[in-house]
Amino acid sequence: MTPTSSPDLSNAPIAAPALLGWKLLHQTEAGLTSGYIVETEAYLPDDPASHAFRGPGKANAPLFAEAGTIYVYFTYGKHYCVNLATGPAGNGQGVLIRALEPVEGIGLMQRRRGQERLEQLCSGPAKLVQAMAITKDLSGQPLAHGQLWLEPGFVPDAIRRTPRIGISQATDKLWRFVIAGNRFASKPVA
């Protein structure tokens, strides 16, 4: 099976595993950084753990935009995380990008993170945002070549599903997707 030219973002639980293996790229003045997506989570409109659950607000509006819109949120007083909106416009759902396998701009990412080990560079939703220097300015914008965009990578041979990390509601749903055995995940799974 070969990668298609764009991932299926029609529905979060489909998009989340479909995004695994895709390369996420970010271009800044400092340089290009990129990595293969190795861990994602799906969030749905009627999902109490989702930022979209209580309807559109100031910060979460991009989740209700058309598929492929970038949603960057701030949390815990110091961290940013990045999502891609999925589903039709008006439907609040998306996929949280939780970990990357570093590919390009590794030196730049190491400097931004103050961290040498590749396994710790992008092994968490806020880590990869820091490594790639993704900012809230991108929230609400579409994926765009030369800014933040996706390119085909590889097709994972095995994907594991687990409960999502860091939530207190809907913990029974298996909406976290990880490439089996990948050592760049936030919490690797066999």
Partner DNA sequence: CGTAAGATGAAG
Partner DNA sequence: TTCATCTTACGG
**Residues near DNA, by CB under 7 A:** 41, 43, 49-52, 54, 57-60, 63, 71, 73-79, 81, 83, 94, 96, 113, 115, 120, 124-127, 164-168, 186
- Choice between 3 and 118, CB closer to DNA: 118
Question: Phi, psi (5° rounding) for residue 9?
Answer: -110, 25
Secondary structure (3-state) at 58: coil
Instruction: Decide whether 145 or 163 has the Cβ nearer to DNA.
Output: 163
As measured in angstroms, the least distance from the Cβ of 47 to DNA is 8
The C-alpha atoms of residue 16 and residue 154 are separated, in whole angstroms, by: 15
Least distance in angstroms from the C-beta of 41 to DNA? 6
* CB nearer DNA, residue 52 or residue 150: 52
Helix (H) or strand (E) holding 6: none
Beta bridge partners of 94: 43, 85
Helix (H) or strand (E) holding 107: helix 106-113
Cβ at position 1, least distance to DNA in Å: 28
Give min distance, CB of 147 to DNA, in A.
20
Rounded CA separation 140/46 (Å): 21
| Residues shown for the chain | 190
Nearer to DNA, 52 or 132 (CB): 52
Please say which residue, 3 or 142, places its beta carbon nearer to DNA: 142
3-state secondary structure 75-87: ECCCEEEEEEECC
Rounded CA gap, 15 and 94, in Å? Answer: 8
Give min distance, CB of 187 to DNA, in A.
Answer: 9
